[in-house]
Structures are given as structure tokens and as C-alpha cells.
Amino acid sequence: MPDDYAYINTRVRVMRTKLLGGRALESALAAGSYQEFLRVLTETDLAPDMRETTAEGAGLPELDRALSQNLFATTQKVLGFADGEARREIQVLLMRWDLVNLKTIARGIVSGRGPEAILESLIPGGTIRPATLRTAAQSTDLASAAATIAVSGHPLARAMREAAAAYAATGRLLDLEVALDQGYYRHALQVARNTSLRRYLGREIDVRNALIARSTRGQPVDPQLFVPGGRLDAAGYSRLASGDTSGVPEVAAILDAPSLEEAEVAARRILDDAARNIAAGDPEGVGIILDFLRRKEIEIAKLRLIGRGKYYNLPTEQIRREVMA
């Protein structure tokens, strides 16, 4: 099993050719019904995962399971190509979904959503075992959920404990989420040996700091909300929180966005561009894998949106606007 990227990237380039391109997505958008949409997908490489979706009485839950199975199988296949340091770096990329899942579990517990609703919202591409996620989602409080992650030995266990403590101290979800961010990026930067991976993680951190600064605009600057590891130091974050983007000019679109939804769209575009640029500039490093995983995540998200639109008979142009946002 290789500890370098030459072999891994060769295999991932083959996988990239099997992503659904513009023509396939256009066919899915053009489908006249939900059943026709499913038929389109059964004519793609997703076909092995789609059997349950066409059973009598099947609906959106079956589609979600099929897409989740496909994403999980894809991430595990990529991880299976690697060993040693390369494997640990790829795991760091997959842990981005662990970070999202831990936030989802924490929000669900705080808001009392219930285990099943939480589990339905999880992304199956991370590195935390499904059984651990299920147990954490069934917790009655954040401390219990953090203990479950700690027992599993996962690298983000410390971050989850710190997040639970932060929420207990302030009662603010933002403090909880930032503590998880800080823990994830602390671990990721310790693992990353690849220069392009460190550069991409730095860009992610810049974007996250911009989103935090936007959400706290008009409030006193709180240095505890700063996520270190990007191009800004604590003083630079303070300037960013005051609207000065001179240290990271590309995040201006996030601060200037008129709504949170548009700010998140701007953030995704910045990171998509960063992944493509790193893939082009470092063809023998982690960039190819990073770009592929982002494209796969986008593919699955778009198919979920199209599937829901077709299931509820929404106008095609309305679905298209949401998919292309």
C-alpha cells in the first residue's frame, strides 16, 4: 500500500471520470417525474446503490440512503488506496464531515430534535464509526455525547469535550461550534505534512473566521472566537471582525453578502476555487484527492436537491436555481 500520492492520484483520476458531468445532471433536471429521475440515476455509476429506491412505496428516505451509501463507499475506496502518512492526511480531509456531524449532533441535543432526526441529518463520509454516531445522537446531554466520542478514541474527542464545556459556560451555540472548529484544525495542521494541504486548510480557516466575524458583526470582538492557523493572527481577526479584509481580501464577498445563505454560497465558491487551484498546481500531491472529494460531495448534494424537487413536483427552473446556487 503506497505512502505517496503518485499511485493514489492515478486511481482517483479514474474515479473522477465517473462523476456525473453536466449532461447527466441536466438529464436529471429534465426528468418529467420523480420516477423518471430515479431511472436516470439507474443508468449511471450510482446504479448499484439505487435498487431500494425503486421498490414499491419507496420515497425520499430510500433515495437518501442510496446517495449516502454511494458517498460512504466512495470515501472508503479512496482511503483504501493509501497507507502511512498519506492515509492520515486523507483521513484529515474526511474528518471535515466528522466536524459537521459533531456540530449536527450537538445542535440536535441542545434543541431536543431527537435521535432519529439527528441521524437523518448526518453525512456518512467521515471517519467516526456509525455505531458511535448513533450512540452520541441518543445522548440526553452534550457531556454524555462527548464521553461517547472519547470512548471511541477518535482524534476529535478532545474538541467535543471542549465544545461541551464552552456551551455549558455561555449557553451559546457559536461558542460550541467554534471550539469544534479550533479542535479540528489544530489536529489537521498537526497531521498535514503536504504543503498544498496546509495551504488549503489555511484557506478553510480564513473562510471560517470570515463567517464567524460576519455572524458577530456589531458585537464587541471576542478573541475566543478566533480560529488560528490561517493567514490572520488574533490582531488580524480583530480587524476582520471590524470589516477590514486587507489580510484576506477574497473573503470580502462573505462579509458583504446580504444574507447568511448568500454568505455561505460565497464561502463554498472560495473553497471550490481553492481546491481546483491546488489540484492544478500540485498534481502529485493531495490536491487531486481534495478536489475529487469536494466534487463528489457537491454531486451528492445536487442529486438530493433534484430528487426533492422532483418528488414534490416543483418547477424545473426553480430546482435549477437551487442546484446552481
The CATH superfamily label for domain 196-281 reads V-type ATP synthase subunit C domain (1.20.1690.10)
Domain boundaries, the chain: 5-194+282-324, 196-281
Fold identical between 5-194+282-324 and 196-281? yes
pLDDT tens digits along 294-308: 999 999 999 999 999
User: How far is residue 66's CA from residue 136's CA, in Å, rounded to a whole number?
Assistant: 23
User: How far is residue 292's CA from residue 268's CA, in Å, rounded to a whole number?
Assistant: 15
pLDDT tens digits along 27-69: 999 999 999 999 999 999 999 998 888 777 778 989 999 999 9
pLDDT value at position 3? 66
Q: DSSP states of 75-120 as a string? A: HHHHHHT--HHHHHHHHHHHHHHHHHHHHHHHHHHHHT--HHHHHH
Residues present in the chain in total: 325
What is the arithmetic mean of pLDDT over 184-194? 93
pLDDT tens digits along 121-172: 998 889 999 999 999 999 999 999 999 999 999 999 999 999 999 999 999 9
The pTM score is 0.91
What is the arithmetic mean of pLDDT over 109-123? 93
User: How far is residue 110's CA from residue 117's CA, in Å, rounded to a whole number?
Assistant: 13
What is the arithmetic mean of pLDDT over 74-86? 94
pLDDT tens digits along 209-267: 999 999 998 899 999 999 999 999 999 999 999 999 988 999 999 999 999 999 999 99
pLDDT value at position 129? 92
CATH code reported for the domain at 5-194+282-324? 1.20.1690.10
Locate 109 and state its grid cell: 441535543
User: How far is residue 137's CA from residue 101's CA, in Å, rounded to a whole number?
Assistant: 10
- Contact in structure between 146 and 157 (CB atoms under 8 Å): yes
Query: Residues 6 or more apart from 317 whose CB is under 8 A from it?
Result: none
User: How far is residue 164's CA from residue 176's CA, in Å, rounded to a whole number?
Assistant: 6
- Contact in structure between 297 and 125 (CB atoms under 8 Å): yes
Locate 91 and state its grid cell: 483521513
Q: Which residue has the higher pLDDT, 114 or 52?
A: 114
In 3D space, the residue among 206, 321, 182, 185 whose CA is nearest the CA of residue 270 turns out to be 206
Q: Is the pLDDT of residue 200 over 90?
A: yes
Residue 76 banded pLDDT, cuts 50, 70, 90? very high
pLDDT tens digits along 92-112: 999 999 999 999 999 999 999
Q: Is the pLDDT of residue 1 over 60?
A: no
Torsion of the alpha carbons at 254, 251, 295 and 305, rounded to the nearest 10 = 0
pLDDT value at position 86? 92
